[in-house]
Structure 1
Amino acid sequence: MTVAPDGELADRLAGYDSLLEVGVGRRPGVAAALADAGCRVVAIDVDPDIVAVARAETPAGVTVIQADVVSLADRKQFPSEYDVDAVYARNLPAELQRPSLELARRVGADLLFTTLGFEAPVIPVERDHLDGGVLYVVRQ
């Protein structure tokens, strides 16, 4: 199974007004496309070097924050940046699916993600088929 292209994934996510990307890494393409479509996007990553690069490469509509999804999953209160309609991730590894789901629940958002293609989801999901793969969805 292949991984969905950035444009196709961004098209599916653009129905949300505000989104949080878990693990933006060195691939800010989806966040940038969503911002270009008028969405408010917050992108997080645990690595400070990656955060610095992502800040330099994303448009003004994207806020990039250094944060760890595992730590965020345990928080009780969140700043306004985390007031989002959807939490999403590309290539989300199995070990981060539960913390991502807990974060989404805590902020009252849907969770949408892709995997690397060889991993199955470890949480209950709906499947939305894309031309380039599968988008897994947990609705609030």
Structure 2
Amino acid sequence: MYVMVCYKDIEAGIADYLSDNYSSAIEIGIGRNPDVAAALKERGVDVSAVDIRKYSDDYGIEFNCDDVYSPDLTLYADKEVIYSVRPGIEMIPSMISIADKVGSDLIVYHLGCEIYMDGGEIIDCGVILRKYC
């Protein structure tokens, strides 16, 4: 039997996994969807977010504008995990580079069936995440 997972269930599953495994996190590409970051903050995770542009005045999350192709590594340096929800596949190499440079894990929830290279380590926490670093 096929059970359809609703959009907000995906965000909740990502937040569950991240909050169970990390105490500090930064989201790349928060865009107009602060649900995972807000859930992490609610659960006591030290969370911040970056995006190439600011979409909202205030999500209640520390936010900085940053470009993953020319990143300010100080924004990522003290985070245990860097994560992204449905990033463009072309962003993954830069995100891997950032995670490698600062010594953080990189967790990605891909759009559809996209993966980068070998797809990294598969994490099945009710939704499929990919751990690249």
Change over 3 Å in CA distance of 1:6–1:124 after alignment to 2 = closer
The match for 2:51 is: 45
In structure 2, C-alpha distance between the alignment counterparts of 1:87 and 1:33, rounded to whole Å = 15
Report if aligned partners of 1:87, 1:109 keep a CA contact under 8 Å in 2: yes
Aligned residue pairs total: 127
Change over 3 Å in CA distance of 1:21–1:80 after alignment to 2 = closer
In structure 2, C-alpha distance between the alignment counterparts of 1:98 and 1:42, rounded to whole Å = 21
Residue 135 in structure 1 maps to residue 94 in structure 2? no
Report if aligned partners of 2:105, 2:132 keep a CA contact under 8 Å in 1: yes
Change over 3 Å in CA distance of 1:47–1:123 after alignment to 2 = farther
In structure 2, C-alpha distance between the alignment counterparts of 1:123 and 1:93, rounded to whole Å = 16
Report if aligned partners of 1:98, 1:123 keep a CA contact under 8 Å in 2: no
Change over 3 Å in CA distance of 1:81–1:135 after alignment to 2 = closer
Q: CA deviation at 1:120?
A: 2.2
Q: Deviations over 1:55-100 (max 9, x none)?
A: 5123xxx31000011111xx6xx43663110000001221001100
Q: CA deviation at 1:106?
A: 1.0
Residue 67 in structure 1 maps to residue 72 in structure 2? no
In structure 2, C-alpha distance between the alignment counterparts of 1:44 and 1:123, rounded to whole Å = 26
Q: Paired residue for 1:104, among 99, 104, 110? A: 99
Structure 2: where are the runs of 5+ without partners? none
Report if aligned partners of 2:76, 2:102 keep a CA contact under 8 Å in 1: no
Structure 1: where are the runs of 5+ without partners? none
Q: What are the within-5 Å matches in structure 2 for residues 1-140 of structure 1?
A: 5-14=10-19, 15-48=21-54, 50=55, 53=56, 55-58=57-60, 62-72=61-71, 78-79=73-74, 82-122=77-117, 124-131=119-126, 133-139=127-133
Report if aligned partners of 1:43, 1:64 keep a CA contact under 8 Å in 2: yes
SS at structure 1 position matched to 2:36: helix
Change over 3 Å in CA distance of 1:25–1:32 after alignment to 2 = same
Q: CA deviation at 1:134?
A: 1.2
Query: TM-score, normalised on structure 2?
Result: 0.84
In structure 1, C-alpha distance between the alignment counterparts of 2:11 and 2:87, rounded to whole Å = 15
Q: CA deviation at 1:47?
A: 1.4
